[in-house]
Homo-oligomer: A and B are copies of this chain.
Amino acid sequence: MAESATDRLTVENQPTSEGAYRLKGELHHSKDQACGFELTENFERFNQANDIYTRGQWDARIRSDKVINWFKGMFRPGLGARKAEGYSVRDFALRNAGWMGANLTIQRSLKQGRVDAFLDYILPYSDPNPEKIEIESPEVMSEEMKSVSRLFGADAVGITHTDMRWHYTKSFSTKTLAEKPYGIPDGLSNVIVIVTAMNYEAVKTYPSATAGIAVGHGYSKDCELAQNIATYILNLVYRAVACVNDTSLAIPYAIAAGLGEYGRNGLLITKDFGPRVRIGRIHTDLPLVHDQPISFGVREFCDSTCQRCAAACPPKAISFGAPEARIPNQSSIIGIRKWQVDAERCFKFWVNQATECGVCMRVCPYNKDISRWWSRAYYRTWTRLAASPFKRLALKLDVALGFGQRIKPGEFWRRFRSR
């Protein structure tokens, strides 16, 4: 289970004369093939200032009053509401109620110029004591950390090594509206990756503000859960830094930790919840063993058979073609061959909705409810079919049974109220 030291990446990022961050040292990790990572020689680490949300704050081509209201609407009553099913004051109210927990984490360090969990890693609430507890073995400790993660609400958890290729080169300051230096403390060589499932019924209503409860509450759970786990480690008394949308790219970490595969819609496709998840990470110096990447047929299914997300995407931001290294714009990472998603088109649609969109999450055949035994049995059977030579049949069955269809927000509310 444990990897040898030579498997670890020794790469560092170094600014080139043009200011781009190229990796110095090994570019490839021995696990990359199993993960499906195809890095090209011109790979560059990503600068968070190029993230589409961050560009919404500094890039004149993206920033607008509408964009600023899009951000503010998450926390201000009534902003964005209009006379349209799924976009009323009540729909936005439920979404914003869901964001409350994330808001507690975001607010925590705002005055120090930090946006914890979204631009900056979450500040640990205390230093660990210097005296560490005795660890029976990294294997036992890993099992313990998975139990702790599940106790606090993780729906899946995996462990991998810190991999600087996925770390941002710079972050962004909302105070100066400029990029700022960035990084996690040195020596945190292991990462616990956690996944929390989002509300299935709400996701069904995309596009709508109603569905936003799934994202808001998802982030809230993720923020607190990541801190629960980090706090446990700090109390053990090792070092730990909790991350959500900040610090690094969540998806490659989740893939390396054995939590799923990369899908055409640019999302992590997990084994149990498909793309309907939020991802958190805890970097730590706790001795742990690493999980292996998994494959359950997603890559082949997306590649050869399924384009539902591409066809359903309202702004046509998802590619119908094969994985490619050419990027649509500066909001994609350079030097990885993968299904590209056009973040500019995607975000423009979001801003016009005054809330996020997740149609590609709703229509994905891997997005199914597994909370009841019969729905779980169907999903297990379906994923096996989708991984077999009968991929087309699997897709046709899925469409015929009505999976992925939108339910109207009014219907969501009717069911919700009568529950």
Residues of A within 8 A of B (CB): 75-78, 88-90, 92-94, 96-101, 103-105, 107-108, 125-126, 128-129, 131, 133, 140, 143-144, 147-148, 150-152, 199, 213, 217, 220, 224, 227-229, 231-232, 234-237, 416-419
Pick the residue among B100, B126, B237 that contacts A75 (CB under 8 A): B126
By a CB distance below 8 angstroms, the chain B residues around A229 are 97
Q: Judging by beta carbons under 8 Å apart, are B93 and A235 in contact?
A: yes
Contacts of A231 in B (CB 8 A): 93, 96-97, 99-100
5 contacts between A and B (CB under 8 A): A77-B129, A77-B236, A78-B235, A144-B417, A150-B419
For the complex, what is the distance from the CA of A103 to the CA of B129, rounded to whole Å? 19
Contact yes or no, A101 B228, CB < 8 A = yes
Closest B residue to A416 using CB positions: B147
Q: A103–B213 Cα gap in the complex (Å)? A: 24
Contact of A237 among B78, B97, B151 (CB under 8 A): B78
- Taking A131-B78, A143-B417, A419-B150 as contacts, is the C-beta distance between A232 and B103 under 8 angstroms? no
Whether A133 and B90, one on each chain, are in contact in the complex, defined by CB atoms closer than 8 angstroms, is yes
A97 touches B220 (CB 8 A): no
A133: which B residues are within 8 A, CB to CB? 88-90
State whether B224 touches A104 (Cβ < 8 A). yes
Cα distance A80–B386 in the bound complex, in angstroms: 54
Measured in the bound complex, the distance between the Cα atoms of B382 and A384 in whole Å is 45
A380 to B89, CA, bound (A): 41
Q: Which of B140, B150, B236, B416 makes the CB contact (< 8 A) with A151? A: B416
Q: Check A235–B96 contact: CB distance below 8 A.
A: yes
> Does the CB pair B97–A148 fall under 8 Å?
yes
Given contact pairs A97-B231, A101-B101, A224-B224, a sample of 5 additional A-B residue pairs in the complex whose CB atoms are under 8 Å apart: A90-B236, A93-B235, A93-B237, A98-B228, A104-B105
Knowing A152-B97, A416-B147 are in contact, say whether A235-B129 is a contact too (CB < 8 A): no
* Chain B residue contacts of A150, Cβ below 8 A: 419
Contacts of A213 in B (CB 8 A): 151
Asked if A237 contacts B103 (CB within 8 A), the reply is: no
Which of the residues B89, B147, B152, B224 comes within 8 Å of A235, measured between beta carbons?
B89
Q: Is the CB of B228 within 8 A of A76?
A: no
CB distance from A8 to the nearest CB of B (A): 28
Nearest-neighbour CB distance to chain B for A137, whole angstroms, equals: 12
Chain B residues, CB < 8 A from A224 = 100-101, 104, 220, 224
- Contact: A94 with B232, CB < 8 Å? yes
Q: CB-CB < 8 A to A108: which residues of B?
A: 104, 107-108
- Can you name the residue of chain B whose Cβ is closest to the Cβ of A232? B97
Smallest CB separation, A385 vs chain B (Å): 31
Roughly how many angstroms separate A126 CA and B220 CA in the complex, as a whole number? Answer: 18
| Chain B min CB distance to A116 (Å) | 10
Closest approach, in angstroms, between the C-beta of A155 and any C-beta of chain B? 14
The answer to whether A419 touches B148 (Cβ under 8 A) is no
A382 to B247, CA, bound (A): 53
Contact (Cβ within 8 A) A76 B126: yes
Note all chain B residues with C-beta closer than 8 A to A92. 235
Nearest chain B CB to A287's CB is how many angstroms away? 15
Partner of A417, one of B129, B147, B235, B419: B147
What are the residues of chain B within 8 A of A103 when measuring CB–CB?
Answer: 125
Q: Complex formed: what's the CA distance from A75 to B217 in Å?
A: 25
Closest chain B residue to A229 by CB distance?
B97
Say how far A159's CB is from chain B's closest CB, in angstroms: 15
Complex CA–CA separation, A357 to B220 (angstroms): 30
Q: Which residues of B are found within 8 Å of A419, using beta-carbon distances?
A: 147, 150
Provide the residues of chain B in CB contact with A100, threshold 8 Å. 125, 224, 227-228, 231
List 4 tightest A-B contacts by C-beta distance, closest first. Answer: A93-B235, A97-B232, A104-B104, A77-B235
Q: A101 contacts which chain B residues (CB < 8 A)?
A: 101, 224, 227-228
In the complex, the chain B residue whose C-beta lies closest to that of A237 is B77
In Å, the complex CA distance between A152 and B213 comes to 10
